[in-house]
Structure 1
Amino acid sequence: MTNSTPSAAGLLHPYQRGGLALPNRIVMAPMTRFRADERGVPLPIVADYYAQRASAGLIVTEGIWPSRRGQSGWRMPGLEDDEHVRGWRVVTEAVHAAGGRIFAQLMHAGRNSHPLSRIDGQLPLGPSAVPVPGPVHTRLGKRAPVTPGVMTTEDIRQAVADHVTAARNAVRAGFDGVELHGANSYLIHQFLADNTNLRTDAYGGSTANRVRFPLEVVRAVAEAIGASRTALRLSPGNPQFGMVEADPAPVYRALVAALDELDLAYLHVTDNDRYPALADLRPRWHGTLIANVGENGDPTSRQAGERVLASGRADLVSYGRLFIANPDLPRRFAVGAPLAEIDPAHLYTHGARGYTDYPALPAAGLAASTTDPADAAVAGVAAGSA
């Protein structure tokens, strides 16, 4: 039996399966915002930012490096030590107090880094010695990319162990679970892709070898914190940052078939025109599936999200950019309110401007303009929990 049959439930209807009990099917997607200090500890305003968005069915944080060996960018957050745990605990407590649910996304950079972007100042490592194309951002501005070192078998084992440690730290910090970042050109994706994995050992070449590292990470984390608190994000065929996957289907079919046996919290999949991953992989996945259909395109509208659910290709839909300027996005969808625009000049700065200063709808703006009683009921619940 598969979960690929259409559902009558829309974005504003509750969802429950396994350890997930969500008031709606709108997920806040992970988005890098650079609001950590130089040690990778989230700034106090990070708690405000995520608590403001707690009416999402589920929040997935920005990418968090599991260890300084996997740090991608300067002033991006980590989950390596007790100081990070204390910083993130403030965030999870704020989200839970506002009625929300939050997963930490663990994001190992692999080749996607530069010595000037890292606390340890070391050369990044990847599956193969293939640099990122084009200039990269560092703490001193844009620089030419560096050629990463090649991960040894011991480096690979260390990366698995770093994910496990960070996952345990996430639980200690109060997160409801972790999402492993296997998408958008980061380390797990680098092992899956054609041009970033040129290895000839047990971690490269054949499909079985390409999926070995992703499966080792997922299984190790699931064993450490429980499968019901472990999830994975994938972006099959995504060309961001120079990634090449000529024929994604065989690799991702094999990976999803193996993952399907683990009973994870969810699988988070981005779709694209060249390889319709949702349509191809949904029949092979029997658990909760989150769809992201706005990657590399226009922000996902409410209508686009509803179409995905109605088609049966997913159970939940993730929204990224709309959540930045609309902290109460589910309420706005429910009442048909206008959507605010992002302040692009302060998207990647380090203060509250363009981060926590986007206002929510006033209470008077919650008069339901929808004819769907379920939508109106959800609007009322959201208003009471905002």
Structure 2
Amino acid sequence: MTSYLCAIGTATPTHRIAQAQIASFMAAALQFDAAATRKLQALYRVSGIEQRHSVLADYARTNGEFEFFPNTPDLEPFPTVGQRLGIYREHALPLSVEAALDCLAQLPEATPATITHLITVSCTGMYAPGLDIELVKALGLQPNVQRTCVNFMGCYAAFNALKLADAFCRADADAQVLIVCTELCTLHFQKSPDDDHLVSNALFSDGSAAALVQARPASQGPSLALEAFHCALEPDGHDDMAWHINDFGFEMTLSSYVPKLIQRGIRQLTERLLQNLPVQLADIHSFAIHPGGRKILETIEQELGISRHDNRFAYKVLREYGNMSSATVLFVLRELMQNLTPADAGAPVLSFAFGPGLTLEAMLLQVCYQPVAANASQPARQTEAAHQPLAY
């Protein structure tokens, strides 16, 4: 039995801030001199990011106007973990509800009453009773909906949620699984001149994405069949990408060596994913790659021989949203799905994400496209040609 990714909804905070504005905030917060400020601004210019979203308006403001950070030259006393997670509790639910409703609105056959499983994903905040229970109440899901939380796994966590959804749907043909990935990365700004923190502060942003997975394609329009997954570890990168809870927020380690580690493992990851499938890399022209950073995207293109155009959806998300951790690859998949046409039916799609460990995740999907019914109130009749599963 095949499961299908049928709809993806997204939501971002109202504060949309230009990358240059954030660079000015960071330089002031770090009390950089003119030379260090120029270097920091150059880092932000070459990031491939034009704007990011945050639940905090402070990143677009100057000292004296802050609402969350102290209005002192050095931002002291620096906000604690408890203060940051208080903001997470305030904003995570409404953002998640917005993404979930956007997702459900795209699929007429899915309603809050029909959802059988809820999977919440986050590495930027946690509490109990948690976001999963609050979503059940806010969305009006059935109280017996089966809930699973995927926490603190970083940027590749959406892949684990999709694997869980796939397993649920293979076990139950009536399953409808709602995945909600919500990340408020900007709560965890670290006031440190260390290179790892400078890079993290230049990339991460806030957003939420919700996905609906079920055991049949959407009644009309595009769906993505979940055909195969493969996971690998690069143990040499154990300390190059990490995520730790400390007294003043969650601290991200993201070294400049990460693209080299991904370059070393990405081809073997792809070969292992495809080795039992009737698909070769040369057959794939659609990609949904987690934009962990511009250099990571360029490294993968070089190693796999794909073009920037092939990878355009990742660049668009990076440019407009930055890196939203686990939600980001779903934003990329949404961009891809919005650009599919009936002519793409049967085409393979290759997706990647990366995270602490160093973990490398790969997923192969296949486009399924159901014609739009003449009468929009009636589901389109499913045709045999809509999806022919890949032979294992």
TM-score band (shorter)?
A: under 0.3
Structure showing greater Rg: 2
Q: TM (normalized to structure 1)?
A: 0.28
Using CA pairs below 8 Å that are at least 6 residues apart, which structure has the higher relative contact order? 2
